[in-house]
Structure 1
Amino acid sequence: MEPFAEHLYERLAEGLLLAERPRLQDAYVLSLYVDFDDGPHRMKLWLYYNTPDHLQQAISQGEEPGEARWYFALWEPEFVTAVGLSRQECDRLADPESHRLLARWLRRQGLYRSPEEIAALLEDAERYDAWETAARRALLNLVTGVARRLQESGVILARFGRPVPLLVHQWDYDDWCLEATRLVNPPGLIAEFEQWWWHEWCCE
């Protein structure tokens, strides 16, 4: 596997297998949130989960059941693990190697931009948007492959002893989210999520 993708996979797999979260073993769903808040050149990945207990708590507090079940912002407040964080964000999970490998990967794709080049791009919204869109698209494809490997390698099965669906998404659950999540999971595993997605997101 490509070095950057291999690094992402190893960090996520290790984080999932070694995570000490009291309720994680009860999880009925995982999600891999692809975070571009700081730009594609500083992409971060966050692995979240939810449990039946927290789901019922959210519903009892007035959340709509489908939203509480499937939308990660309403899930257990603690993430499982994360990749690409700086020391300032989380010393325990600091990951400078991810930044180095991401820069090398972007160079190979012809998408690397230096800090000075990014600053210049920010002064031209059209040029910045074109670069950001291309970089995001390439990274989302790479992340989909990493997430699929988490399922196919048996890491998730080893952690939980049963199949658990893995959603892949940005902040919004857009069309890419549905297609990527379909690619990542075995047939039938995300049937309930798909039904909810079509009802809540397909026309937005």
Structure 2
Amino acid sequence: MTTFRQHMAEMSARTLAEFPEEVTADIYAVTFRIDSVDQDPRFPYLAIGYTTETEVARQLAETNGSEPWETRWNYAYFPPSGLEGVRVIGHDPAHDPFGADLHRKEAVAEDLWYEEEGGLAEEEQDERGEVLAEQFHELCVGVARRLHEDGHIVSVLGRPLPVILYDMFDPDEMFTLTRAANPPELVTDFLSEDPQGQPQA
């Protein structure tokens, strides 16, 4: 039986193959936007996309070259291909009903699922929600690492490229998640603004 983790890994590889062939040479990073339906931790999803050198050049021209790191790496500057992405996978019934069903079944089996009117105290709901969110972050890191290890990024894009992971509602996690998901040499520039410092060689 397919697990939620396997489903996420398979769908992420399939999504890379859906990137438009005409822009693959222009892509400098794969983007993972970690989010949830209605900001509910029971329904986490991943929007997979990309950013391009052309978009960075356009942004820098419009801002007279200011804040080059922000323009290149901050999701606030990402184009729709890096925000909305190419495909949404995870517990989003509208975009990935199979993934949503798998995730719910596994959360129930792990005694992490809850209903808002199910009798659990709000504190217990919050605790379960935190665990579900942490698990999904860890899963997304693992999915990104597998894209590297299985050669999908090189196969589709022709060269190793970083995967930038970000949660729009927890921006401080961006550096931690991205560091964990990539070979160090691919994220040196990205991590140059990490307040915790760059990884040790």
Q: Please give the range of the TM-score, normalised by the shorter of the 2 chains.
A: 0.7 to 0.9
SS of aligned partner of 1:164: coil
Alignment of 1:53-202 (within 5 A): 53-62=54-63, 64-78=67-81, 79-84=85-90, 85-87=92-94, 94-114=95-115, 116-117=117-118, 124=122, 126-171=123-168, 172-174=170-172, 176-198=173-195
Question: How far does residue 40 in structure 1 lie from its aligned partner after superposition?
Answer: 2.0
Distance, in Å, in 2 between the alignment partners of 1:40 and 1:178 is: 21
Deviations 1:49-90 (CA, angstroms, capped at 9, x unpaired): 111110011122226211110012312223232213443xxx
Distance, in Å, in 2 between the alignment partners of 1:114 and 1:158 is: 42
Question: Contact 1:30/1:165 (CA < 8 Å) preserved in 2?
Answer: yes
Distance, in Å, in 2 between the alignment partners of 1:21 and 1:80 is: 13
SS of aligned partner of 2:180: helix
Deviations 1:4-55 (CA, angstroms, capped at 9, x unpaired): 0110111111011123364243111112111025312211101121111100
Question: Contact 2:27/2:50 (CA < 8 Å) preserved in 1?
Answer: yes
Q: Which amino acid aligns with 2:156?
A: R
Distance, in Å, in 1 between the alignment partners of 2:93 and 2:112 is: 22
Distance, in Å, in 1 between the alignment partners of 2:71 and 2:178 is: 18
Question: Contact 1:27/1:51 (CA < 8 Å) preserved in 2?
Answer: yes
Question: How far does residue 179 in structure 1 lie from its aligned partner after superposition?
Answer: 2.7
Q: TM-score of the superposition, structure 2-length normalised?
A: 0.82
Distance, in Å, in 1 between the alignment partners of 2:2 and 2:183 is: 23
CA-atom RMSD in angstroms: 2.5
Structure 1 unaligned regions, length at least 5? 88-93, 200-204
Distance, in Å, in 1 between the alignment partners of 2:143 and 2:70 is: 26
Question: Contact 1:49/1:72 (CA < 8 Å) preserved in 2?
Answer: no
Question: How far does residue 115 in structure 1 lie from its aligned partner after superposition?
Answer: 5.3
Q: Which amino acid aligns with 1:25?
A: A
Identity %: 29
Question: Contact 1:21/1:80 (CA < 8 Å) preserved in 2?
Answer: no
Distance, in Å, in 2 between the alignment partners of 1:111 and 1:128 is: 9
SS of aligned partner of 1:82: strand
Q: Which amino acid aligns with 1:74?
A: Y
Question: Contact 2:12/2:143 (CA < 8 Å) preserved in 1?
Answer: no
Deviations 1:93-141 (CA, angstroms, capped at 9, x unpaired): x311011000122123321113533xx66x83x4443222122112211
Equivalent position of 1:43 in the other structure: 44
Equivalent position of 1:4 in the other structure: 4
